[in-house]
Amino acid sequence: MSFTTTILQWYQKNGRMLPWRQTRDPYAIWLSEIILQQTRIEQGQPYWQRFIKRWPTVDHLAQASEDEVLRLWQGLGYYSRARHLLQAARQVVAMGGFPKDMKALRSLKGVGDYTAAAIGSIAFDLPVAVVDGNVYRVLSRYYGITTPINSTAGKHEFAALAQQLLPEHQAADYNQAMMDFGALQCTPKGQQCQRCPLQETCVACREGRVDTLPVKLKTVKVSERLITYIYIRCNGQTAIRRRPEGDIWQGLWEPPMISPDALPAEGGHLTLVCSKLRHVLTHRVILADCWLWETATRPPLSDDYIWIDESALDHYAVSRLVEMMLQKIHTNND
């Protein structure tokens, strides 16, 4: 039995029942693919459901504000995805609907080769193979391929092989089968090898190389960044600003990022809420000191800060780090 046939048969018995697989609506499929970039299905599915409920069509989403989208996205991280989501929705509306060819799909903001292939094959039956981390892992192990998956040569090699294996008239099922097979059967630690339908013909399994494949070039070393936040409480209000372009958390809101030494020497009470609060990003670890400054007089701040009622904070999208800080402040108050 061929590799492709085995994968399809496995999928018929073991494929995950996911809500965006019960439709051919390109909006629902595109939304799921963007949300699930860098996100586990268990975490992403409630977000998909909330987005669909709030904006049931791409036309509805295109009319949303960036703040509304960022607020609903809060907690998923990688916030550029949310901004690109809104931009792409507006592109689709301007086009008169979702494009049905790969070149036009790739032109949508935030849509790369993988996402375009997923939308194209599942929504429009385009015979294009998806290649993601799951596909790299399955193919590298089954065929014993040692070319690094994050090298230019590796990307070309795996894309060509994936396309060669694709059954032209079953592209949607096959692509989803490969995603699920990598997620459920051919897992990173290879715990399921003894129950794998490909066990007898898998090179990595036969040669004891499951733990060494796929090969990946070493990436950038993780660095640390230290920051200090001052949460100001002044007569039931607090000061926040929108983070500028060109840095992490672009477009999200945050309290003043200043040193306690910059505050007035008198007229308020300063409390350390937490020290070295840790938040891990892809290539960076953020360590934050968080202070609460309670005062009856507004301290001088730059023009990019606005004053809002503390009760209105929930209407502003913030990073996970700021969310954790606010939770600690409110817990200390209770």
42 is a catalytic site residue: no
Pairing state of beta strands 268-280 and 253-254?
unpaired
Candidate list 33, 157, 200, 323, residue with the active-site label? 33
Strands 223-233 and 284-295: parallel
In contact, 277 and 324? CB cutoff 8 Å: yes
β-bridge mates for residue 238, sequence order = 308
SS3 326: helix
**Helix H or strand E encompassing 254:** strand 253-254
| Dihedral angle computed from the Cα positions of residues 60, 66, 67 and 72, in that order, rounded to the nearest 10 degrees | 60
Residue 222, token pair as written in the block: 């993780």
Q: Dihedral angle at the C-alpha atoms of 150, 154, 159, 162, nearest 10 degrees?
A: -110
Sequence-ordered alpha helix ranges (H) in 99-239: 102-106, 113-124, 133-143, 152-165, 171-180, 203-207
Q: Which residues are catalytic?
A: 33
